[in-house]
Structure 1
Amino acid sequence: MSQLNLKEIPRFKTLAREEFIKNYLKPQKPVVIEQLTSDWPAYEKWNLEYINSIAGDKTVPLYDDRPVKHDEGFNQAHAEMKMSEYIDLLKKGPTNFRIFLYNIMKEVPSLQTDFKYPDLGMKLIKGLPMMFFGGTDSKVFMHYDIDFTNILHFHFHGKKRCIILAPDQSKFMYKVPNALITREDIDFSNPDLEKWPALKQAQGHVCELNHGEMLYMPEGYWHYMHYLTPGFSISLRSYPRKIKNLSKALYNIMIMRHYDNLMRRLKGQDWIDYKNEQAIERTHKKLGIF
C-alpha cells in the first residue's frame, strides 16, 4: 500500500474577485477560501443541532457504500429515515449512511436566508443549492458530476478530507465506461497501487475542509470525500464555461444515462460486471500495462 501523488490545494483566508477569476476560475485550478462564509448567518448557526431543530421532521434519502447494482436507478436511495433519526445516528458513531444531493432548501425555505451567493465572477445557478451529510469515516466514491458544473463546496460542522483530480487524469483512474465513477473497490484513502498500478501515474490535489471553508472544484474534476467527523456541506454551481464540457454534459444527461439504464434492463448484472472489467482492460491497454 502507498499513497497517491497529491498536492495540497492552495488556501487563502480571503480572495478578491479579480484574483479568483484570473488565477483559478479562468485557468480551472482548485483553491480553498477559508473565510468566504464569515458574514453568512450560516457561519454561526449551521450545525447538526440547528438542522435538527428546523428539519428534524423531514424524511431524507440515505446512501451507503454498497456497489452499484443493475436494478437500482440513477442515484436511487438505499434507505430513508427522519432527519432527526439520522442526526442521532451520526452522533452515536461511525455510519456508512450519507445524504447525497439533497435539495433541503426546497423542504426548508428558511435556510435560504442563511447563506449568500458569493460574487466570484460565476453565474451561479439559483434554486439548486444541494446539501450532503456524512458520519465519521464515511466516504463518497470517486466520481465527477454529470453536468460538468463549476462547484463551490462549503463545509460545516466538523472536518472532511477532499481528494480531487483534473479531467486529464481520467486515463489513470480506472474509469467505468458509460458511468461517472471509477472502480468502486478502489479505496482512494489508501489505494493498493500494486493492484491498481495506473494510479501510480495520477497527479491529484488534496485538502481538509473545516467549518465554514469553501473548496472551488473546476468543471469535470473527479472528487472523493472522506468525512473525518460528522458534518455536512452545501454546493453552489455554475454551468460549464468550456463548450466541450457543455457538450459532454448534454451527452451524459441526454444519451449516456439513458443508454446505461437500457443496458441494465436488458443485460442485468452482466452489464455492471462487464463495465467493471472494461475499466481495468481499457485503462491498462491505453497505458501499456500488462
Structure 2
Amino acid sequence: MNIYRLDTIGRILSDLPNNVFTRHNFKASQQRSKALVDLAQESILLYPYKSVPAQWRQLLMDASILQAITMLGLFQHSSTLLELQLRDGDQDIKQRIARETINVLDTAMIISGAPGPQRRETVLASIDTLQAYLSSLPSSSSSSHRLRDGFIHLPAPHTVHTTHPVNRLDKVPSFLAFVQLLQNGQPFIIPQGAIEHWPARDKWPSLSYFVSVAGDRVVPVELGSKYTDSAWQQKMMRVEDFLREHVVLQEEGGDDGSGQTAYLAQHDLFYQIPKLADDISVPDYCYCEPELNENYKEAPVDVIQNAWFGPQGTVSPLHHDPYHNVLAQVVGSKYIRLYAPSETHCLYPYEGIMSNTSQVDVEHPDFDSFPLLKEAQFVDCTLQAGELLYMPPKWWHYVRSLETSFSVSFWF
C-alpha cells in the first residue's frame, strides 16, 4: 500500500528516480537533514521564544520536511527496508518509520509554528495519511484494546464545597446580555446549553476517538504536579502513550512507575490537529471587543485557543492572564478559586518573569510564610462538563481537576 501517495511529500517522492534511496544515500540524506535540524534547534534555544529570528524557525521547518522525505522514501523502496536493522525486533519497520516521521514533523511544527508558504498544509496532509495508516493496524496489547474500545471513566459528578460561590447564571445569556455582564468586572458561570452543539461533547469522552484521530501525534506534556515545582519538566509524547500511561492507568488505580502527574496544558492543540478543531467552535461571546483599561491593555490579534487535558489531580497554580477568558469545560469537572486583582498584595507573586504566578498553595496554605493570605477575599466553584466560566483579565485563578478533564480556554 502506497500510504503517502495522496500527500504533497508523497508527490515529491514519486518523482524521484528509483535508485535515489539506496542505503548509502538514505544514510547521507538523514545525516545532513538531521544536522540542519539540530543546528536550527540549538540556535532557537539561544533566544526567548517570542524573539527567535524567523530564519531559524524556517530552517527548522524545512530541514524537518527534508528529513521526513528521506524517511518516507523507505516506503517506496522495499529493498532498502530489508537492508536496515530494526532497533526493536518485534516492531514492524514501516510502523516505526511512520511514527518517527510524525514525531519529526509534529515537533518541528510545534517549535517553529510551521512558517513558510504551504508548509503547514504539506505537513498536515502527510501526517494525516500516516496517522490513518497507523490507526488501521491491529493492536494486540490489552491496554491498547482499552484505548481503542473504551471511554474516559467519569463517575458521578464531583463537587467541592464552596463557601464563596461564583455567580452562576440561571440561563445561557444572549450576546448582548453577556456584554452587559462583562461591564461588572466579575467572574460568572454560564450553565449547560452554550456548547451542547459541539461534536466534542459526544466525541471527546471516547478514548478510541482520540486514538483514531491523533493516537500517534506528538504533543508537549507537562510532567509534575505543577509548573512551579523544581522537578517539573516538559516532554514530547505520543497521544496514545499519554492516554495509556497517565489517564487509563490512573483511572484503573495503576501506576506508570514515574509517580508523576501529566498534563497537556496551555497548548494550541487545534492549530496542530485541525480534526480536533472541527469538534469545537469559538463562542460568539469572544468577539465582543471589550474596552481597554488598566487590567486589559491590549487585545490579542485573534481569539487564542488552548487545550487543557489530563487526569484527576492536575493543577494550575494560582496565576493571572492578561486577557478576558471563557473557559469551556468539555469533559469532567474542575475546582476553581479566583481572586480579584485588588487582592494581589495578599497573594505573594514571584518576582521576575513569573510575576503573574503566586507562591502560595491556596488549598494547603502556609500562613506562617504567607500571613496576608488570610485576608485575601476569593470566590470559588466546581465547573461541570458543559459549563463555561468567564474570568476577567488579571483575575488570579487556581484550577484543580476533580477527575479526567478536558477544558478549552478562549482568550480574547
Aligned counterparts, 1:122-271, within 5 A: 122-123=288-289, 126=302, 128-145=304-321, 148-178=322-352, 179=354, 180-183=356-359, 186-238=360-412
Q: Which amino acid aligns with 2:314?
A: S
Number of aligned positions between the proteins: 226
Tell me if the contact between 2:346 and 2:373 (Cα under 8 Å) persists in the aligned partners.
Answer: yes
Q: Which amino acid aligns with 1:83?
A: V
Q: Which amino acid aligns with 2:364?
A: N
Larger helix proportion of the pair: 2
Corresponding residue SS for 1:169: helix
Q: Deviations over 1:226-284 (max 9, x none)?
A: 0110111111111xxxxxxxxxxxxxxxxxxxxxxxxxxxxxxxxxxxxxxxxxxxxxx
Q: Percent identity?
A: 25
Distance 1:143 1:6, change over 3 A: farther
Match of 1:44 in 2: 202
Tell me if the contact between 2:318 and 2:361 (Cα under 8 Å) persists in the aligned partners.
Answer: no
Shift of 1:129: 1.3
Shift of 1:135: 1.5
Shift of 1:119: 2.2
Shift of 1:113: 2.2
Distance 1:59 1:196, change over 3 A: same
Shift of 1:203: 0.8
Match of 1:114 in 2: 279
Consecutive unaligned residues of structure 1, counting only runs of 5 or more, are: 239-290
Distance 1:21 1:135, change over 3 A: same
Match of 1:104 in 2: 269
Counterparts of 1:201 and 1:103, CA distance in 2: 36
Higher normalized contact order (CA 8 Å, seq sep 6+, divided by chain length): 1
Match of 1:29 in 2: 186
Distance 1:236 1:134, change over 3 A: same
Does residue 1:10 correspond to 2:167, yes or no? yes
Match of 2:152 in 1: none
Counterparts of 2:210 and 2:301, CA distance in 1: 23
Tell me if the contact between 1:60 and 1:83 (Cα under 8 Å) persists in the aligned partners.
Answer: yes
- TM-score, normalized by length of structure 1? 0.70
